[in-house]
Structure 1
Amino acid sequence: MVTYKIGISKTEHDEFVKASKQTNLLQSSDWAQVKDNWGNERLGFYQEGVLVASASVLIRPLLLGMTMLYIPRGPVMDYNDSALVKEVITALKAYGKTKQALFIKFDPALLLKQYKIEQEAEENTETLAQLAHLQEAGARWTGRTKAIAESIQPRFQANVYTDSNLTATFPKHTKRLMKDAQKRGVETSRGDITDVKAFADVVALTENRKGVALRNEDYFKKMMTIYGDNAYLHLAKVNLSKRLQEYKEQLTQIQKDLSETGEHQKKRLTKLKQQEASVSKYITEFEDYVSQYPDELIIAGILSVRFGNVMEMLYAGMNDAFKKFYPQYSLYPKVFEDAYNDGIIWANMGGVEGSLDDGLTKFKANFNPTIEEFIGEFNIPVNKWLYPLANYAYEARKKRNNH
């Protein structure tokens, strides 16, 4: 017999989630502080006094005192245990009634498929069995959706599993662009809360370019404060005047070498002339930048958050005026390197379209991610009379917001 307790401690919930195979930032107790426009309660489910399932539940108020409940990447439990699944779903429904919920939406961290881009993979038979347990327990599955816009959390994500020699697995053109970033003097380091304004500025530039609304400085400060050392702010910066001076010194040396090279040294002459043309091009480019921008500035950044031994790369921005500096190809490898050194087993680059033909997928493919396909969303109807109408209204609103 499963009993449930409302308001279990942050520590009890977080330790249970971290010890599971379903560890995910969205089930961290602190995530509810980030999503402070929702209410929140933590539910623990016990068998004979032992915690066997846990859920951080977000609560959205609706009209007339009604609510909608959402459990992102949860509940966390053993989905192979059909009896446990049934009891937890029943208990969630009972809890939903105390909140006058119309329905409860959840999307557990269960993977239907894992594969590299351009590879095929079979659906995981264990996950299919877990799906059957959920449906038998009365949870209504929304199915194998493809588009990011069809669900609250993306059903497909590009996830990088960290390794000591990860960059060796990157495509050749990625390695070339990493070198190009280095040649242009891009330096990447981990920042702190004092760098949030500069990060927010490059995110704002990204918003303007893509016509999307991300987050502002206050929001990023809040995340950095809530997660502390578990928040990773990686920044790419350039010192334009310093790099320009270095190029000028290189050009002086190349021209000196050219003057000392005989006509018969054809290979050396060819190589030096190519270097002269390349460095001269950089000098022209940098002189233009120096006339427009301060000597040192941040041109790109990524904000990630760690929970347990996993990481979500949540927000990224870039000053498009510096796209030829390829700062992302310096930033992303740095995030993966720091994650690996801190014992993080994977860093999720975020959602992609299930068709895998969108711009996000093409960019993320540069870092050889594993595409992970989650099982997707479920609804637990709580108010059996109003649920059909509420779900119809929810789906209609979602479609409106995505057009």
Structure 2
Amino acid sequence: MQLLSPQEYSLFDAFCQKCSANFMQSPRWGQVKENWYQDILVLRDTEGNLCAGIQLLYRKSPLGYMLYSPRGPVFSRRDPVLIRQLLADIQTYARQKKVLFCRIDPDFPAEDSFLQKLLLEAGFRLNAPNPCLGNTQPHFVYRLNIAGKSCQEIFSSFRSKTRYNIRLAERKGVYIQKDRPEDLPRFYTLLQETGQRDGFPIRPLSYYRRLLEKMGPHARLYLAYFGAEPLAGAISICYGGRTWYLYGASTARHRQVMPNYLMQYAMICDAIEAGCHIYDFRGISGQIENPNHPLYGLYRFKRGFNGYICELTGEYEQVLRPVAYFFLQMAMAIRKRIKKFQFSHPHCRLTS
């Protein structure tokens, strides 16, 4: 088992980008996650080059450590012996840390059983996906293949209504501003309105500032303006030949000028210019046949860009301390209900 020193994290970062790994395996992302500690566990070939690895994030709970690897592992070749060794090293690391559980959700398609078989063989169990988006990360994502395409070619591939809405936004005078520090508080105001409107809690402003700072050149901030008024905003991540639409926000005002469509088109064109082969809209519900599902509108918007649905292999977990894990799950469920209630009833929030 080999753990990299922080001075060696750039080696793993380069390896991740070479393997077109998910940005959540970037050491930079580990630094975004405040109150989490990071370790990077790697394997090398006979020449000393990295051939597999995984970023492990861990944090303390009242009952012990929790261990999580978002969208890991990363490997340069599909070698079962290599992956078995990596999983065995993860388990050794988890026992040494005395963690309650180890959770992994690979960025790997569900139809490819290679990694799933090895995880189950190693004693991990597959968690049932949440009916809305998934578990810790989305189970279904919507992606657009942009490899070798020009902006005009991609535009021509969009559904007719999406093309119409992009042109409408341009005719109405909507314009996009990018990467301006003064736009972050404006984005956050839009995000607060979106969270209140759609019923989901949001992180503090300091989190998004930290994200942009730590992800550096990989992160971009977009705002769509109508006159002097910001109507929509987004944060994207470009990493390892892929771009992700990570966070989005909008106001209910002036929706008729379609700012989100033009903003997405600008983000897709920037991904093309950066040489990416995939633009990832991230999560959608798996229940796309049900127009009454609360997330159907999100799917309908993303579908207009004429990409494809990708079901990922899912979230795997291995419990090492079952009794403590049981009580932790109970405590987290209660905490989640309290947070949801406080978000829905802000006048009832407790003060300390």
Pairwise same-fold verdict (TM > 0.5): yes
Match of 1:288 in 2: none
Cα distance change of structure 1 residues 229 and 16 upon mapping to structure 2, 3 Å threshold: closer
In the alignment, structure 1 residue 55 sits paired with structure 2 residue 43: no
Residue number in structure 2 paired with 1:142: 127
Distance in 1, matches of 2:22 and 2:232, equals 26
1:15 aligns with 14
2:113 partner SS? helix
Gap change, CA 1:218 and 1:395, over 3 Å in 2: closer
Alignment-mate amino acid for residue 10 of structure 2: T
Check whether the contact 2:133–2:286 (CA below 8 A) recurs between aligned residues.
no
1:338 and 1:394 mapped to 2: Cα distance?
43
- After superposition, residues 55-94 of structure 1 pair within 5 angstroms as 55-64=54-63, 66-77=64-75, 80-94=78-92
Mapping of residues 390-401 of structure 1, within 5 Å: 393=330, 400=337
1:274 counterpart residue number:
none
Deviation track 1:293-352 (CA, whole Å, cap 9, x = no partner) reads xxx222111111212211221111112111111101111011000110111222211211
- 2:254 pairs, out of 322, 331, 351, with 322
- Cross-structure match for 1:272: none
Judging changes above 3 Å, is the alpha-carbon distance between structure 1 residues 60 and 374 closer, same or farther for their aligned structure 2 residues? same
Distance verdict in 2 for CA 1:212–1:388, change over 3 Å: closer
Q: Alignment length, in residue pairs? A: 328
1:4-403 matched pairs, under 5 angstroms: 4-7=2-5, 9-21=8-20, 23-48=21-46, 49-64=48-63, 66-77=64-75, 80-112=78-110, 123=111, 127-142=112-127, 145=129, 147-148=131-132, 150-162=134-146, 163-164=149-150, 165-239=153-227, 296-356=228-288, 357=290, 358-383=296-321, 385-386=322-323, 389=326, 393=330, 400=337
Question: Normalising to structure 2: TM-score of the pair?
Answer: 0.85
Q: Deviations over 1:339-373 (max 9, x none)?
A: 10111222211211111242211121111122111
Query: Aligned in 2, Cα 1:195/1:353: closer, same or farther, shift over 3 Å?
Result: same
SS in 2 for 1:320: coil
TM-score between both structures, scaled by the size of structure 1: 0.75
- The CA distance in 2 between the partners of 1:63 and 1:388, in whole Å, is 11
Comparing both structures, which one devotes a greater share of its residues to helix? 1
- The alignment-based identity, stated in percent, is 27
Equivalent residue letter for 1:231 = A
Q: Measure, in 2, the Cα distance between the counterparts of 1:200 and 1:161.
A: 30
Q: Cα RMSD over matched residues?
A: 2.4
CA gap of 1:130–1:231, structure 2 versus 1, over 3 A, is closer
Distance 1:236 1:149 in 2: 26
Distance 1:327 1:149, change over 3 A: closer
Report the 3-state secondary structure (helix = DSSP H, G, I; strand = E; otherwise coil) of the residue aligned with 1:321. coil
Q: CA shift at 1:29, angstroms?
A: 0.5
Structure 1: tracts of 5 or more residues without a match: 113-122, 240-295
